[in-house]
Structures are given as structure tokens and as C-alpha cells.
Amino acid sequence: MSRHDAVEVITAKRDRGELSDSQIDWVIDAYTRGEVADEQMAALAMAILLNGMVPREIARWTAAMIASGERMDFSGLSRPTADKHSTGGVGDKITLPLAPLVAACGVAVPQLSGRGLGHTGGTLDKLESIPGWRASLTNAEMLAQLEDVGAVICAAGDGLAPADKKLYALRDVTGTVEAIPLIASSIMSKKIAEGTGALVLDVKVGTGAFMKDEARARELAETMVALGQDAGVRTVALLTDMSTPLGLTAGNAIEVAESVEVLAGGGPADVVELTVALAREMLAGAGVTDVDPAERLADGSAMDAWNAMVRAQGGDPEAPLPQAKESHVVRADASGTLTRLDAMAVGLAAWRLGAGRARKEDPVQAGAGVVWHARPGDEVTQGEPLFTLLTDEPERFERALSTLEDGYDIDDAASYTPAPLVIDRIG
């Protein structure tokens, strides 16, 4: 590998130059080894945020991040693999019903997931509210579970894209999280290294999403689809709405309960719609076109796969889920149609109630969160429950209530226009 100098790489990007392949390979490797200091990588990340990268640079940056660690190999499994990644939202419990549903259709799902930070919930936090369930598996355990059960949702091991782990933490504290080249390479380096055959990206757009603006969400989706295709992974993206939170719950245990309702053939219509849409894309990517996922929800086989998946990771799917010690009901202050429910307001309220964390090391409350009793388009009656707030610490209610105050509108039905949940498909 050619030897470079950190300052030379930083100034090249600062002056709007394109980084060479050897500069990119060197700086990622040297940063992973500790030869390039955090403050130097922070300067480079800011230069990338401000000046961007061309597709070749992004592809090489992603490849260098993959090369910093191990690559998993699922080619020995008896069935094809497909995975899904969501850019994160509020009430986004889709992974929970989706992984067992796709497994019930004959495709293995190696779902490496993360924890929540800020207003977006983490899949692992939700699943850890199930008594006994564990997030950490060895590669051998993961492979055995994929062969036996067909689905695994677990934490990524330290060996997968270690450069990303370091860089992600740095971006978080240096105001460089929003750089599209860095978001795309962070997500795709882990997903490509994970070794899945097909990948479906759920790129959220709206007030509760990381990307508030549809043009930027589309740019991110197109960038990630191109990275996946270039790496030989069959990749598509759905742009989906995150102005309204998904389902009727935002929290940990309460989202697990809602996911189980979906697997039982019920649950909120939007959660079912998105779960089935993503399942169809994952099955198509894996070459399975003769199975209808909606039928697998109806016939109980997806629920069987869920129970097997939870048990395989030490969890008890029959055990009662934790419940918050305290609750507070917010009643509708008028009668009419709920015309707006802001995802960011709901997400911040759930976070303030203890369902999320401000720093990576913070604990979360399993039972905390927000339940809403109506969705946009529904009629509400003055004095009837609109939200139920849940927490173990009643002093948290006040701050959560303050975020919800401007988070919804009750108006006449004529002022409500339903928005499509799936905005577009890319790839």
C-alpha cells in the first residue's frame, strides 16, 4: 500500500480535489490502526461534508472500510439470503415482523441491527425487552441459526468494518453525520461485508427521518443502490414516508407487542403494508417469486418463525413483556379529524420518557414510550384518550408533554390529505 500523509489527504479534499484510490486506501487503513489521529479524520470528514465525493471515491471509500475487517460468507446455506436496512424513524418496528416473515417464505435473513440514539428507536433495544433474549452471537451461532430457523437479528461483531465503528463515533461528535458519502459508505460497508445476496433499503423521508428533504433522501438511496450493485449485491431502495410515525406505538416493549399483533394477522394497516412491501422486494431479490408474504402472515407460519427465532437467542416469546410503572393519558382538546401527527414530536416524547438514549452508553427503559389512539384521518372526540405516555419515572412526563403540544392537529376532515407510505422505488 502506498504511503501518504494525513495533511496531504485533508488539503486535497479541502481544496475540492478528488482523492486517489491509494489516498483513500491509506487513510482508512491508517485511521483504523491509529496512525491518523481523530482530529485529522474529523477535518477530513468535514471536508467531505462540505465538498462531497464523486461516485468512484465513494465506492473506493466503502471498499476500504470493508477491507478493514472480516467478510462473512453465507454461500454454504441451503437457502438464499436477503437483508433489509432502514435509515431509522419513529415507531419503525418493521424489522421485527419482517425477518421471520421472509424466513417463513424460504429466504434466510441475516439481520445485523443496532441500538437507538436520540429520537430513533433501535431494533436491539426493542428485542432486549423480551426476557432472556440476547443480541450477541458468534458467527458460528449466527450461521447455525440461519440454517435452522432462517432468521437472525443480532448485533454486528467487532470484526465487521471496524473502520466504520471508529468513524461513526467520530462523526457523531463532530457535526459530520449528514455527509451523504459518509452515510452511504457507513451503511453499505457493513451490509456488503455481512455477505447477504440481496439487500432492500428503506430510506425514510420526512420530519421524523434523518433526511427531511425528499431530494436528499433520493440522492442517498441512489448512492447506496449503486454501491450495492457495484459490489454484486442485488440492491433496491424504497423511499418511504416518515412524517407520521409508524403504527400506534413508539418505545421498546410496546413495539414488540405491536409486532406480535402483525405476526398474528392483525396490527396497524401501515405496519402491515410496509412489512409486506419490503418482504416482496427481499423475496424478489433472492429469486423467490412464487410465495405471497401476505399469506404467510395469515396462515401463522410467520409467527412460528418468530417464536423459533426468539427462542434460538435465549428469549421466551410467551413471557409477559415489561410494563412501565407510571402512565399519563393526554385527552383530545377538541372533536374532529386528526389531520397531522408529527413523527419527530412523538419520537422526542418517547425518548424523553426513557425509551431512547442521548449517549451510546445510556440505559433505556423497556416499558417506556408513547401509545397514540388515533392516526391521521381518524375521527377523535373531545375528552377521549389521544395519547398514553409510559415511563418508570413520573418526573419525565412534563418534558415529554411539552414536545407533544405542537405535534398534532385536530381539524375538519376536508383539511386532511392522505400521503402514500411508499413514495418511490429506486433500483
Active site positions, annotated: 85, 164, 171, 186, 190
Residue 294 domain-assigned? yes
- Of 101, 153, 128, 108, nearest to 316 (Cα)? 128
Whether residue 205 is found in the same domain as residue 279: yes
Question: Total domain count for the chain?
Answer: 3
Find the largest Cα–Cα distance for the chain: 70
From CA 145, how far away is CA 77, in angstroms rounded? 11
Whether residue 335 is found in the same domain as residue 384: yes
Q: Which domain holds residue 14?
A: 6-52
The sheet carrying 379-380 orders its strands as 379-380, 336-341, 408-411
Per-residue pLDDT of the chain (427 residues; tens, 9 = 90+): 788 999 999 999 999 999 999 999 999 999 999 999 999 999 999 999 999 999 999 999 999 999 999 999 999 999 999 999 999 999 999 999 999 999 999 999 999 988 776 677 789 999 999 999 999 999 999 999 999 999 999 998 888 899 998 998 899 889 898 899 999 999 999 999 999 999 999 999 999 998 999 999 999 999 999 999 999 999 999 999 999 999 999 999 999 999 999 999 999 999 999 999 999 999 999 999 999 999 999 999 999 999 999 999 999 999 999 999 999 999 999 999 999 999 999 999 999 999 988 777 788 999 999 999 999 999 999 999 999 999 999 999 999 999 999 999 999 988 899 999 999 999 9
Whether residue 200 is found in the same domain as residue 249: yes
From CA 164, how far away is CA 414, in angstroms rounded? 48
**pLDDT per residue as tens digits for the range 170-223:** 998 898 988 999 999 999 999 999 999 999 999 999 999 989 999 999 999 999
Residue 140 domain-assigned? yes
Whether residue 336 is found in the same domain as residue 395: yes
From CA 63, how far away is CA 57, in angstroms rounded? 10
Residue 260 domain-assigned? yes
Residue 234 domain-assigned? yes
Whether residue 135 is found in the same domain as residue 259: yes
Residue 68 domain-assigned? no
CATH of residue 361's domain is 3.90.1170.30
Residue 185 domain-assigned? no
At residue 113, φ and ψ (nearest 5 deg) are -120, 175
Whether residue 208 is found in the same domain as residue 250: yes
Whether residue 151 is found in the same domain as residue 283: yes
Residue 267 domain-assigned? yes
Whether residue 390 is found in the same domain as residue 275: no
